[in-house]
Amino acid sequence: MLISKLLRVERRRLHTIVSRELIQPSSPTPCRSKIYNLSLLDQISLNSHTPIVAFYQNLDQSSLNKTLELKNSLPKTLTHYYPFAGRVRKTSPTYVDCNDEGVEYIEASNDNSLSNFLKQSEHEDFDPLFPNDLIWFNPRIRGDTEGVTCPLAVQVTHFACGGVAVATTLFHKVGDARTMFNFIDHWAAMNAKKDTSPISPQIISHQARNINLPDILSEKSNVGCVTRSFMFPNQKLNDLKAKVTAMTIESGQPIKNPTRIEVLSWLLHNRATAATTKNNAGTFKASGMVFPTDMRSILVEKLPGTSIGNLVFVIEVPTRNQRELAPHFSIGEMRKMKAMFHSVPNLEAATKIVAKMSPEIALETLKRVDEYYIYSSLCRIPTYDIDFGWGKPVKVTFGGTIKNLTLLMAAPDGNGIEASMCLEKEDMEILQNDPELLAFC
């Protein structure tokens, strides 16, 4: 244990910040667009920064020149995403001041080779790759101060072998994960100078509003939590689908054609709650499953995939007892809730639904169970197609930890799903040795 800690301290020591500067859009934001109002869905989203990093294998001896091109293509990209280069209040923001002050662009060096870094690192060792510790619920972006922050920050890290990590963090109240990946993909296409121009983002105009919902999730402590990844190959997922189908038929409430996401979320939740129960002297704790669902493609009037903002519905499925952990119940409830959202005509109607939730209702909903587990699928986003002109990334992942958050992403080679799961350390130790989970890895 001591040797492991010393090795991790050494890896951090080898990471050095080389330069910092502000990158402004190449063209000024038009006067009519100087104020970007945050929607109701933006304002009730997490008060956090979403950290994403993509790793690229050895770029050869000209890696510094190639990343200079990266810096030069950023201003052109920012003209399409002008709110990202403005300033927004850190607490209870209602709008972005699109003043073109610029995004912070940081370059760093790491004396390790990329392959060794990825091989030796635990998930938390990725954190120094992100700019200014802007990782989820970092205390420095929370609190009662009236300061402002830039919605977007970038850090490019050069490894000794010529490999590069491109890390970005986006203030969640300005955009969701889909928004973030759209930006990165657009930037990559601009940098690679592809023949076809990337599709410009859809910036939706919102009316000014000021709400006051409690920022509950960000107040929960992540101390003592760790994030670990599990890989589930396609064949194993097919085996799991067959198992779940058989279980639901046996229950008398068959689930037809369960998806990979449905069965994998069920398995992970089942085994995570089993680990918690074991660490709780065998006493089951009421819990719930939460599924953030991208509304862009499920509303009757579909939204462009490049729409900026927080455009997600949250589906909540209670698992208050062992019976509700059964797949016919949890997957069945998830399908019922999702079907309801398919009937929502448009974004305006969706916003009205959310507007009916008062702070009191939100608090009462959270009190119904002891713990919520969030399962967010990004499998439909082509994360491994982000090509800055250097080829596809060898790894794409998130930084930091949020207790009970699981992120599902397509495997690098397309063969399966990678689940990055954050739990309390004691629960994770049980989960990593759980034969019922490992049977499908």
b/e map 297-330, b = 16+ CB within 10 Å? ebbeeebebbbbbbbbbebbbbbeeeebbbbbbb
Which residues does residue 153 pair with via DSSP β-bridges, in sequence order? 104, 169
Tell whether the model's pLDDT for residue 114 goes beyond 90.
Answer: yes
- Among 192-201, 306-315, 387-396, the range scoring the smallest mean pLDDT is 192-201
Global confidence as pTM: 0.90
Alpha helices in 23-122 (DSSP H): 40-43, 63-78, 114-120
Q: How far is CA 178 from CA 160, 197, 357, in A?
A: 32, 19, 24
Tell whether the model's pLDDT for residue 104 goes beyond 80.
Answer: yes
What is the four-CA torsion angle of 263, 267, 272, 273, rounded to 10 degrees? 90
CA distance 269 to 287: 10
Which pair of tokens denotes residue 231? Answer: 């890989």
CA distance 352 to 174: 20
Which pair of tokens denotes residue 356? Answer: 């009916």
**CA nearest 317: which of 292, 297, 299?**
292
3-class secondary-structure state, position 41: helix
pLDDT tens digits for 62-99?
666 777 889 999 999 999 999 999 999 888 889 999 99
Alpha helices in 91-130 (DSSP H): 114-120
Tell whether the model's pLDDT for residue 208 goes beyond 60.
Answer: yes
Whether 172 sits among the annotated catalytic residues: the reply is: yes
Cβ atoms of 417 and 409 within 8 Å: the answer is yes
Which pair of tokens denotes residue 318? Answer: 């209670």
Q: Which residues contact 36 (CB under 8 A, 6 or more apart)?
A: 82, 83, 86, 95, 96, 98, 203
Catalytic residue among 123, 172, 186, 269: 172
pLDDT tens digits for 404-420?
999 999 999 999 999 99
CA distance 70 to 81: 16
Dihedral sign computed on CA atoms, order 159, 9, 400, 76: negative
Tell whether the model's pLDDT for residue 60 goes beyond 80.
Answer: no
Catalytic residue among 97, 125, 133, 387: 387
Query: Sheet containing 148-149: which strands, arranged edge to edge?
Result: 35-37, 95-97, 87-89, 148-149
Q: What is the pLDDT of residue 2?
A: 43
Give ∠ CA 260-261-265 in degrees, rounded to 5. 120
Domain ranges, ordered by start, for the chain = 2-192, 217-438
pLDDT, average across residues 233-252? 96
Q: What is the pLDDT of residue 36?
A: 95
End-to-end CA distance of the chain: 26
Q: What is the pLDDT of residue 63?
A: 61
Tell whether the model's pLDDT for residue 170 goes beyond 60.
Answer: yes
CA distance 254 to 336: 14
Q: How many CA atoms lie within 13 A of 63 on its CB side?
A: 20
Give ∠ CA 85-175-71 in degrees, rounded to 5. 40
Q: What is the pLDDT of residue 395?
A: 95
3-class secondary-structure state, position 338: helix
Q: How far is CA 311 from CA 175, 176, 375, in A?
A: 8, 7, 16
The position carrying tokens 């392959």 is 115
Name the packing angle between helices 234-251 and 327-341 (round to 10°).
100
Q: What is the pLDDT of residue 182?
A: 95
3-class secondary-structure state, position 81: coil
pLDDT, average across residues 133-162? 76
CA distance 389 to 190: 9
Topology agreement, domain 2-192 and domain 217-438: yes
- Among 172-176, 195-199, 209-213, 314-318, the range scoring the smallest mean pLDDT is 209-213
The fold of the 217-438 domain, in CATH, is Chloramphenicol Acetyltransferase (3.30.559)
Dihedral sign computed on CA atoms, order 96, 399, 184, 407: negative
pLDDT tens digits for 287-308?
999 999 999 989 999 999 999 9
- Among 11-15, 26-30, 314-318, the range scoring the smallest mean pLDDT is 11-15
Tell whether the model's pLDDT for residue 373 goes beyond 80.
Answer: yes
CATH superfamily of 2-192: Chloramphenicol acetyltransferase-like domain (3.30.559.10)
Radius of gyration of the chain (CA): 22
Cβ atoms of 25 and 78 within 8 Å: the answer is yes
CA distance 311 to 347: 9
**CA nearest 46: which of 312, 265, 360?**
312
pLDDT band at 179 (very low <50, low <70, confident <90, very high): very high
Cβ atoms of 320 and 270 within 8 Å: the answer is no
Q: Which residues contact 311 (CB under 8 A, 6 or more apart)?
A: 41, 176, 178, 294, 295, 296, 303, 347
CA distance 266 to 440: 13
Give ∠ CA 136-138-143 in degrees, rounded to 5. 115
How high does pLDDT run on average in the chain? 87
